Copies of this chain bind each other. A is one copy, B any other.
Amino acid sequence: HNTSPSKFANVNFGDRGMSLEEELNDSNTFYLENDIAVIHKKPTPIQIVKVDYPSRSAAVIKEAYFKQASTTDYNGVYRGKYLDFEAKETKSKTAFPLKNFHEHQIEHMRKCMAQAGICFVIIRFAVLDRLFLLKASDLFTYWDRQTSGGRKSIPLTDIEKLAAELHYQINPLIPYLDAVDQIIG
């Protein structure tokens, strides 16, 4: 399924006006419709407080609050493997700040990996318009190191070495499963 849209090589896919989440949802729709993988964005968890039931029409939620997500953004199944990942953007041009992650997201990925799930993060440097897929195991190295006096971010130069860089294309827009193929082997 790795398409090479060589005739679009000079098109700038970077200026798309979509958020990283929308780009990934769009990519997942392509993967789903082409029977390549089943990956969905998890719905945002909401605490519902008040619901009205007007007669003859649908229930209306009148008071609700956003809850802190306890896991990651995306999960699903691909080639017999459980995939679980988080997508994050930064405006930094030099490093990815670890404060973008919550401890419970890290713990969730550790638990998924203990069950032989494939866990990673898709990181977008918005200003540079560069996109990387970093394995969770590499993220953990930096995460754990900050508690023993290490830096609070992952330098871009390290990400360039450790991660797979992803390049926008036509379909799917973000061909991240090509990088997952390299992890699965």
Contact = CB atoms under 8 A, between A and B. Distances in A.
Contacts of A115: 37-38, 77-80
A40 to B, nearest CB: 6
Interface stretch (A43-51, A123-131, A134-142): A43-51
A66 B59 contact: yes
B65 A112 contact: no
Interface string A74-101: 0111111110100000000000000000
Nearest to A59: B66
**Among A37, A44, A63, A64: residue with most chain B CB under 10 A:** A64
Nearest to A80: B116
A61 interface: yes
Interface string A150-177: 0000000000000000000000000000
Contacts of A114: 35
What copy number does this chain have within its complex?
Answer: 2
B58 A108 contact: no
A40 B114 CA distance: 16
Nearest to A47: B61
A32 interface: yes
B66 A64 contact: no
A117 to B, nearest CB: 4
Contacts of A102: none
Interface string A103-133: 0000010011011110000000000000000
Interface of A: 32, 35, 37-38, 40, 42-46, 58-66, 70-71, 75-82, 84, 108, 111-112, 114-117
